[in-house]
Amino acid sequence: MFAALVSFGLDQCTDGTSNTIAFGEKVIGDNTAATNNGGENYNCIGWPSGTDSGRGSAADQAMPMGLTFLNQYVTLCDAARAAGTANQTNGQGSVWATGRMIEGPLLTELQTPNSPHADCFNFAQNTGMTTFRSRHSGGVNALMGDGSVKFIKNGVTRGPGGRWVRSRATK
């Protein structure tokens, strides 16, 4: 229901508020650089389309049209993390009341819960992906638009249109 510099009203929850995620759980970083505690993220790359100085645009980030660029972004981000060329930060979620994507409670649904892929962000361009993460066994908690809380299992997958879908094992 929230994105960088914008929010959406209840009338825009086309799947209904009980099926729309407002906020999700994430592991808080410990503000110790070069450690891996599950709360790290990487400041490294802009959106692969190159539009809007690396920020991307609505057309090349909206799913399903932006799925090709998302897959490229994930690959580039993971490669930068593995090569050590990404600037690692461990402050994710540390200032939860700010409402800023990295420090605050906002997350993207670009990756599935507890994804093995890196959380990447480009501070200069205010873009990136930070996924739902928790230390719970098997999934994460999410606050829905209607105020209810649901446990989302790790077994969801990203469907062909970019949306999360349940696999048979997670029903």
DSSP 28: P
Confidence of residue 105 (pLDDT cuts 50, 70, 90): low
Confidence (pLDDT) at 149? 95
Q: Is 124 exposed, middle or buried (0-12, 13-18, 19+ CB in 10 A)?
A: exposed
Confidence check: pLDDT of 171 > 50: no
pTM reported for the whole predicted model = 0.78
**Most confidently modeled of 34-48, 69-83, 97-111?**
69-83
Q: What is the dihedral of CA 140, 151, 12, 165, to 10 degrees?
A: 80
